[in-house]
Amino acid sequence: MLNSRAASSLNIILKLQHFANFLRTYHHGRAQKSHSRRKPSHKRNHKFRKRTNFVEHIPFLDEVKQCEDPDEALSLFHDYKKQGFKHDYPSYSALIYKLARARKFDAVETLLDCLKKYNIRCKESLFMALFEHYCNANLPNKAIQLFRDMTSFNCVRRLQCFNAILNCLVSNDCLSDADGIFMESSKMGFRLNSVSFNIMIKMWLQKGEWDRAQEVFDEMLAREVEPTVVTYNSFIGFLCKRGDVDKAKCLFKDMVEKGKRPNAVSYALLMEGLCSVGKFKEAKKLMFDMDYQGCKARLVNYGVLMTHLAKRGEFDEAKDLLSEMNKKKIRPDVVIFNILINYFCQRGKVAEAYKILSEMQLGACKPNAATYRMMVDGFCRAGEFEGGLKVLNVMLSGRHFPRTETFFCLFLGLIKSGNLDSACYVLEEMGKRERWLDLKSWEALVLDSCAEENVDSNLIAELVKSS
């Protein structure tokens, strides 16, 4: 008979060999899947109706919206054109949106040239969407070029479009580009409004440039553009984050004196500032001041108080706020529940977090991807991988997809706990959603799994190679 150590080693080796065989099958299936993707069909029999002055149903739009593959959608566009269909703005815009989301910008620009060539009347919304896609793809110069070139299209370029490109540049941290466009506004014939100035004020404050933000504010006043509550909120929020709550309170008072009525966000920013310097009671008192001033408390205000209480570990008091909201007939949303779930999980109180998840479901509040991700991560940190697997199944059934990191954390935990069947299931679910682990992840997994046992190094190398 084998002694206990030999039996243990043999058991480990058999498990690793079983897992290596699974990996080979898994990656073989992955390769087959990549080769079996549906190719666009170029043979279609389209029937068209003659156009009239009435709004018609356009078959091309139905088909292109159903295409998941942008290349197939482009092929469909050309098929219709070859068979005599005359594409108009709805066709071009639907295809351009799809291609832009897939970052097929060469094809987008070819279609834009066609819009220009055939002088097809366009809507500003198309260009505004493209600004966002270009900036999100780290192509701000393309967005700026398109904005400047808009006048050559059959489209009116208005201030709304100017504010859109400005906001996209600011949101993607293109400060110099945003500042350059802003300085050219007069030459372009735009009369800036409060939205334009608020975007720039937000930009400078996010970068900690108080003086530059103040210069924009002064220019705003010089051009006789009335500051809004959003303008004041930007400054109040900045001061509170910096810990200068007294100055923020003075600015809040100044806003009221100048006839600007604070909204729920104004109070929330001030409440957050007070909480950050340990003045929770004063922050809570602002809730009563709001009611007295005729400003109804919103979810954002309760969220500030709840976050502060949860950070301090005062979970009973945080849950009391839920009861208070129910009494005032303010229905908690997923963000409110997520605050509690997040901090419960961080403190290792996974069972309590799971109760909150059950409560929100009973209250007809649907969890989102973040809710499930926090729960799965919480179970993994607590070493309760079976609980994490249970939540993952519910998450997937609701068509929410975890991050690759969340998948891997659960997968690794199941491997360590010896539950290979469940680990393989998790890996298969990753594959269905095209979430693949890289070589370094596999190496880390194998080495970590074998670290506590004297397993043959050749077997480890074989297992890594099979991944």
* 234: confidence class by pLDDT, cuts 50, 70, 90: very high
pLDDT at 55: 43
Task: Decide if pLDDT at 239 tops 80.
Answer: yes
* Of 74, 54, 55, residue with least CA distance to 64: 74
| DSSP labels, 235-262 | HHHHHHHTT-HHHHHHHHHHHHHTTPPP
pLDDT in tens, 23-43: 555 555 555 555 544 444 444
What does the alpha-carbon distance between residue 419 and residue 270 come to, in Å, rounded to a whole number? Answer: 50
pLDDT at 438: 64
pLDDT in tens, 130-188: 999 999 999 999 999 999 999 999 999 999 999 999 999 999 999 999 999 999 999 99
Sign of the CA dihedral 299, 302, 308, 309?
negative
Per the CB < 8 A criterion, the answer to whether 1 and 435 are in contact is no
What does the alpha-carbon distance between residue 202 and residue 204 come to, in Å, rounded to a whole number? Answer: 6
Q: Which ranges constitute the DSSP H helices of 277-349?
A: 280-292, 299-311, 315-327, 334-346
Range from 211-215, 281-285, 321-325, 448-452 carrying the lowest mean pLDDT = 448-452
* Segment 203-228 mean pLDDT: 95
CA angle 139, 144, 148 (to 5 degrees): 150
Q: What angle, 0 to 180 degrees and rounded to 10, lies between the N-to-C axes of helices 89-101 and 59-66?
A: 0
Which of the listed ranges 85-94, 201-210, 352-361, 393-402 does the model predict with the highest average pLDDT?
A: 201-210
Query: Other C-beta atoms within 10 Å of 60: how many?
Result: 21
Task: Decide if pLDDT at 118 tops 80.
Answer: yes
pLDDT at 33: 52
Query: 317-355 in b/e burial notation, b at 16+ Cβ within 10 A?
Result: ebbebbeebeeeebebeeebbbbbbbbbbbeebbebbbe
Burial of 193 (0-12, 13-18, 19+ CB in 10 A): middle
Task: Decide if pLDDT at 5 tops 90.
Answer: no
Residue type at 21 in one-letter notation: N
Of residues 26 and 331, more confidently modeled: 331
Tell which phi-psi region holds residue 155, choosing left (phi > 0), alpha (psi between -120 and 50) or beta.
beta
Report the chain's mean pLDDT, rounded to a whole number: 84
Query: What residues contact residue 202 under an 8 Å CB cut-off, 6+ apart?
Result: 170, 234
* 9: confidence class by pLDDT, cuts 50, 70, 90: very low
- Report CA 252 to chain centroid distance, whole Å: 31
Half-sphere exposure of 270 (CA within 13 A, CB side): 26
Task: Decide if pLDDT at 300 tops 90.
Answer: yes
Helix (H), strand (E) counts: the chain:
25, 0
3-state secondary structure 49-89: CCCCCCCCCCHHHHHHHHCCCHHHHHHHHHHHHHCCCCCCH
pLDDT in tens, 247-276: 999 999 999 999 999 999 999 999 999 999
User: Distances in Å between the alpha carbon of 238 and those of 214, 456, 460?
Assistant: 12, 59, 54
Query: Other C-beta atoms within 10 Å of 239: how many?
Result: 23
* 340: confidence class by pLDDT, cuts 50, 70, 90: very high
Query: What residues contact residue 264 under an 8 Å CB cut-off, 6+ apart?
Result: 290, 295, 296, 297, 298, 300, 301
Task: Decide if pLDDT at 208 tops 90.
Answer: yes
Which of the listed ranges 122-131, 388-397, 420-429 does the model predict with the highest average pLDDT?
A: 122-131
CA angle 337, 341, 342 (to 5 degrees): 115
pLDDT at 181: 95
Residue type at 459 in one-letter notation: L
In the beta sheet, which residues pair with residue 154?
121
What does the alpha-carbon distance between residue 271 and residue 282 come to, in Å, rounded to a whole number? Answer: 8
pLDDT at 450: 59
Residues in the chain: 467
CA-based max dimension of the chain: 94
Half-sphere exposure of 302 (CA within 13 A, CB side): 27
Query: What residues contact residue 71 under an 8 Å CB cut-off, 6+ apart?
Result: 40, 104
What does the alpha-carbon distance between residue 417 and residue 384 come to, in Å, rounded to a whole number? Answer: 10
Per the CB < 8 A criterion, the answer to whether 91 and 122 are in contact is no
Range from 18-22, 65-69, 227-231, 279-283 carrying the lowest mean pLDDT = 18-22
- Report CA 106 to chain centroid distance, whole Å: 26
pLDDT at 13: 45
What does the alpha-carbon distance between residue 216 and residue 197 come to, in Å, rounded to a whole number? Answer: 7
* 427: confidence class by pLDDT, cuts 50, 70, 90: confident
pLDDT at 406: 81
